[in-house]
Structures are given as C-alpha cells and as structure tokens.
C-alpha cells in the first residue's frame, strides 16, 4: 500500500515536494509551494504564466488558508470556518489563482468555479430552480461577483447572486458549507449592488483577501 503523502504532487511525471511529512503532519515550505504553483500555472494557462514577486503577500495568505495553518491564519485575522472573497482590479489574476489553489491540497474537498454571469443566464432560462441548485451542499467559487446583470424570468427581475448568497450563508451556519468568490468591486460597491442585508451576510461568509488597488493588468 502506498504511503499517504499529501505533500507530494505529481504533474507530467515530475514530483513536486511542497514540504516535509513529519509526525503525521505536513510542514509546508512557501518557496516550494510557489515553485509548484508556477509549474501548474504554466500547464493550465500556458508558458506566459508567471508568479509575480509583488503578489507573494497575497499568495502567502491564500496558502496558509488552504493548508489550514491555524497559527498563521490567526495572526493574519483569517477565519478557517469562512470562505474566501478575493478582490482586486481587473486582470490582477484573481480567477487564475482561485483555479490554481484548489490543486495545492488535492486531499481536501474541491470547489467548482463558476462565472456569476453564467448563473444569471441560467436563471433567465429556467427561473428560480437555479437558486435552489446553488443552495446545495457542494462547494462553489462565484467568479466576478457583482458585475453580473440582473436576472429576469417571465418579466420578473431578480438579484440572483444576492439570493444565492443568502442561501449560502444559511448553509455555512447550519452545515459548515463554505463559499468562495472573486470580485472587482470594493465593499461600498458590493453593498450598493446587493444591499445592506446581503453585505452583512457576506462579512460572515467570507474572509476578505485583497490585491492592492494599484495591481497591474497581467493580461497585457
């Protein structure tokens, strides 16, 4: 039987050691995790993908959250019982990072990353069933939260993601089902988009991890 080795990930015949397995615990190494993330990013997004030095503070916060480093999370004010809201300017790399991070800990329950606008398009076609669909016990990351259009089904408007976030809040409280999201908007803009009630639930749903406002567009 193969020894349990959560700190070793194989990609294309290459073994990446993210740390050491000692005494039943993985002692992760930040630099080794960066090396793996860079390699995995190139596999997923092409050879032009790179890890930027200025993003290391953000990556460190994401790393300690995903590996469930309780001591480091406590120092950074990160609650492991909540999901992540990764915010920052357009093109700073939020979506790519959320796609990448789930590969760091393949032994943990994965989440599905879904564009928020696609959920609204689904609502426009099938109505309120789409809200029920995302009120299940699966883990999701809602991408580009806050810039999706208002939903409309049979002439009735609906703030679809706002309703889904309320459902996800109930799931977190009752069943510890976490939700993640990415957004280009700041706290004030999110409140304007979803209202104070949803915004207050979002504070309980998410840890806010924010890129600097001056982060450049990496897609250029």
Residues 40 and 119 in one domain: no
Report the C-alpha gap between 42 and 48 in whole angstroms.
7
Question: 91 pLDDT band (50/70/90 cuts)?
Answer: confident
Report the C-alpha gap between 67 and 80 in whole angstroms.
10
SS3 for 132? helix
**Residue where a domain stops, chosen among 51, 70, 90:** 51
Q: Is residue 137 part of a domain?
A: yes
> What are 68's two structure tokens?
């469930």
Residues 125 and 205 in one domain: yes
Residue 161: name the closest of 123, 206, 203 by CA. 123
CATH number, domain of 103, equals 3.40.50.300
112 to each of 82, 144, 212, how far by Cα in Å? 16, 14, 26
Q: What is the mean pLDDT of residues 138-151?
A: 96
The answer to whether the CB of 205 falls within 8 A of the CB of 83 is yes
pLDDT of residue 3: 60
Residue 38: name the closest of 46, 92, 126, 10 by CA. 46
pLDDT of residue 201: 95
Residue 109: name the closest of 163, 17, 30, 175 by CA. 175
Residue 91: name the closest of 118, 60, 129, 55 by CA. 55
Residues 108 and 193 in one domain: yes
SS3 for 78? coil
The structural domain count of the chain equals 2
Range of the domain at 156: 81-210
Question: Would you give the end-to-end CA distance of the chain in angstroms?
Answer: 48
38-42, 90-94, 96-100, 117-121: least confident range: 90-94
Q: Is residue 216 part of a domain?
A: no
Q: What is the mean pLDDT of residues 122-136?
A: 94
Q: Is residue 204 part of a domain?
A: yes
Residues 124 and 203 in one domain: yes
Residues 131 and 178 in one domain: yes
Report the C-alpha gap between 86 and 202 in whole angstroms.
12
* pLDDT surpassing 80 at residue 138: yes
Question: 131 pLDDT band (50/70/90 cuts)?
Answer: very high
Residues 88 and 37 in one domain: no
DSSP 8-state code for residue 89 = S
Q: Is residue 58 part of a domain?
A: no
* pLDDT surpassing 60 at residue 59: yes
DSSP 8-state code for residue 148 = S
pLDDT of residue 13: 85
Q: What is the mean pLDDT of residues 133-162?
A: 95
* pLDDT surpassing 70 at residue 89: yes
**Percent of the chain's residues with pLDDT above 70:** 98
C-alpha torsion sign, points 148, 140, 214, 196: positive
* pTM (predicted TM-score): 0.92
């Amino acid at each position: 039987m193969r020894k349990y080795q959560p700190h070793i990930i194989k990609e294309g015949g290459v073994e990446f050691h993210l740390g050491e397995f000692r005494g039943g615990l993985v002692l992760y190494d930040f630099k080794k995790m960066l090396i793996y993330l860079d390699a995995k990013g190139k596999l997923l997004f092409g050879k032009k993908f790179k890890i930027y030095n200025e993003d290391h503070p953000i990556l460190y916060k994401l790393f300690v959250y995903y590996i469930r480093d309780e001591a480091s999370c406590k120092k950074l004010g990160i609650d492991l019982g909540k999901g992540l809201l990764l915010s920052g300017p357009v093109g700073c790399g939020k979506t790519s990072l959320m796609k990448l991070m789930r590969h760091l800990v393949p032994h943990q329950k994965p989440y599905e990353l879904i564009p928020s606008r696609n959920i609204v398009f689904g609502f426009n076609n099938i109505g309120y069933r789409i809200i029920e669909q995302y009120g299940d016990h699966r883990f999701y990351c809602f991408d580009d939260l806050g810039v999706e259009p208002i939903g409309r089904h049979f002439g009735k408007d609906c703030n679809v993601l706002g309703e889904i976030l309320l459902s996800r809040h109930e799931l977190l409280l009752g069943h510890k089902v976490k939700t993640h999201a990415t957004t280009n908007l700041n706290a004030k803009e999110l409140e304007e988009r979803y209202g104070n009630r949803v915004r207050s639930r979002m504070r309980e749903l998410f840890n806010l991890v924010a890129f600097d406002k001056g982060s450049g567009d990496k897609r250029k």
